[in-house]
């Protein structure tokens, strides 16, 4: 405890000499003053470890001096020991300190003075340690709070940055994927529509030509057969019934031949008609075989062309649209779905790659922020 600086303020020179001798004997550095004004004007008043102050000073007394010491921020913590005259102290009542830390009655013994001074210095040391502990605790608490606030701010900022980066990346990837898929789907759709239209037109034209040609040939053959039959019947009739038979029949009918003659004529006529029918059929068959192919060859191209044009104008657009829609839908299901799956896989790999890059950047940013935060806190503490 030796080596502390003590300021002794007393109006009595004898008290000053006695107290100074006792305290210097214990190793203290003692400075003396005779009044409160001198004590308050001392340039190193805040550097003293203890102030011994007489209450009965000339001018500014001891209690007023204590009040001014306590009202100054620089000297507020300096302990003060009042030297109270014995006749002013009533043992039955507590001594009024008015801001001082303790008192000692005069006259005093050297042992009492040394004990009281030592107690006051120990109390000051304890207060200084308490203040130091409180300051250290407050600094640690403030540092912890500052670190927590910085960590929270950094985490919040990083979270915002990561969310914005992910949203931007997902939006860009989605836009690019949509454009690429739309372009490929459009190209495939156009190509398949053209191919399907071409194939459908060819198939429908071929089918319609065959059907129309078959129908027109049948109609032409029926018409030719009717016409040829009429001409052949007339020609055969002229050839098979000679003029003599016609005249005889006419005479017989005119002369009212007997019934037997009429029956014979009818029988003969029936026989002739049978022969006539057989001959007519054979002639018709031979003429049809010769005439129908020729007519079909002459009429078929013109009729088929006209019917094909009409059928194509009416039916081909409908058939093409129906076939095109069905074929396009099937083709899209067959080809577009694997492409979509492949693009989805590419997109997922790209997103995972970007997320990995972002996480690496975030780690680097966290390390940098932690390092700079630590340097900043260290500089503030230093």
- What is the rounded CA–CA span in Å between residue 192 and residue 219? 40
Q: What dihedral do alpha carbons 141, 145, 147, 149 form, nearest 10°?
A: 180
Q: Which residues contact 90 (CB under 8 A, 6 or more apart)?
A: none
Residues 56 and 84: beta-carbon distance below 8 Å: no
Q: Return the H-helix or E-strand segment holding 136.
A: helix 110-240
Q: Which of 45-59, 149-163, 259-273 has the lowest mean pLDDT?
A: 259-273
CA distances to 108, 240, 269, 271 from 277, rounded to whole Å, are: 180, 11, 12, 10
pLDDT of 351 above 80? yes
Token pair in block for residue 1: 């405890």
Strand pairing partners for 6? 30, 50
Q: What pLDDT sits at residue 153?
A: 82
Token pair in block for residue 71: 């009202």
Which domains are present in the chain? 5-108 (3.40.50.2300), 161-381 (no CATH)
The DSSP letter of residue 51 is E
Token pair in block for residue 227: 């016409």
pTM above 0.85, yes or no: no
Where is pLDDT greater, at 277 or 66? 66
Give the rounded distance of the alpha carbon of 346 from its chain centre. Answer: 17
Q: What pLDDT sits at residue 65?
A: 87
Token pair in block for residue 215: 């129908």
Q: What pLDDT sits at residue 138?
A: 86
Q: How is 191-223 classified by DSSP, letter by letter? A: HHHHHHHHHHHHHHHHHHHHHHHHHHHHHHHHH
- The 10s digit of each residue's pLDDT in 231-272 is 665 665 566 545 555 566 556 555 654 565 456 656 655 665
Half-sphere exposure of 162 (CA within 13 A, CB side): 17
Give the rounded distance of the alpha carbon of 283 from its chain centre. Answer: 91
CA distances to 17, 179, 357, 371 from 11, rounded to whole Å, are: 11, 101, 82, 62
pLDDT of 36 above 80? yes
Token pair in block for residue 21: 């001798």
- Candidates 335, 322, 337, 333; CA nearest to 196 is 322
Q: Which of 304-313, 333-342, 367-376 has the lowest mean pLDDT?
A: 304-313
- Residue 151 binned pLDDT confidence (cut-offs 50, 70, 90): confident
Q: What is the mean pLDDT of residues 41-56?
A: 87
Q: What is the mean pLDDT of the chain?
A: 76
Which sign, positive or negative, has the C-alpha torsion 334, 335, 336, 341? positive
Q: Which of 101-110, 289-298, 327-336 has the lowest mean pLDDT?
A: 289-298
pLDDT of 107 above 80? yes
Strand pairing partners for 32? 8
Token pair in block for residue 329: 């839908």
Q: What pLDDT sits at residue 79?
A: 92
């Amino acid at each position: 405890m030796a080596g502390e600086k003590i300021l002794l303020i007393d109006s009595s020179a004898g008290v000053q000499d006695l107290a100074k001798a006792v305290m210097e004997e214990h190793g203290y550095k003692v400075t003396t003053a005779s009044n409160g004004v001198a004590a308050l004007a001392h340039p190193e008043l805040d550097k003293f470890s203890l102030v011994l102050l007489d209450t009965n000073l000339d001018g500014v007394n001891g209690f007023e001096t204590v009040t001014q010491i306590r009202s100054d921020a620089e000297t507020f913590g300096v302990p003060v020991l009042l030297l109270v005259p014995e006749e002013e102290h009533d043992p039955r009542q507590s001594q009024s300190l008015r801001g001082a830390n303790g008192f000692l009655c005069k006259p005093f013994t050297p042992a009492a003075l040394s004990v009281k001074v030592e107690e006051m210095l120990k109390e000051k040391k304890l207060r200084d340690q308490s203040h130091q502990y409180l300051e250290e605790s407050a600094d640690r608490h403030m540092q912890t709070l500052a670190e927590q606030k910085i960590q929270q701010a950094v985490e919040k900022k990083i979270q915002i940055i990561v969310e914005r980066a992910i949203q931007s990346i997902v939006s860009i990837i989605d836009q690019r994927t949509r454009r690429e898929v739309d372009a490929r789907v459009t190209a495939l759709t156009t190509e398949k529509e053209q191919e399907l239209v071409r194939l459908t037109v060819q198939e429908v034209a071929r089918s319609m030509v065959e059907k129309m040609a078959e129908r027109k040939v049948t109609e032409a053959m029926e018409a030719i057969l009717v016409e040829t039959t009429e001409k052949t019947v007339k020609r055969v009739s002229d050839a098979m019934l000679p003029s003599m038979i016609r005249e005889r029949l006419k005479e017989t009918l005119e002369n009212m031949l007997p019934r037997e003659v009429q029956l014979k004529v009818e029988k003969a006529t029936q026989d002739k008609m049978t022969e006539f029918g057989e001959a007519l059929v054979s002639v018709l068959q031979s003429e049809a075989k010769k005439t129908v192919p020729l007519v079909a060859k002459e009429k078929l191209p013109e009729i088929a062309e006209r019917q094909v044009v009409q059928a194509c104008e009416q039916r081909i657009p409908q058939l093409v649209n129906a076939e095109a829609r069905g074929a396009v839908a099937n083709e899209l299901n067959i080809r577009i779905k694997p492409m979509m799956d492949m693009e989805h896989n590419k997109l997922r790999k790209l997103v995972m790659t970007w997320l990995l890059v972002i996480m690496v950047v975030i780690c680097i940013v966290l390390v940098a922020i932690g390092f700079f935060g630590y340097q900043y806190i260290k500089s503030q503490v230093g």
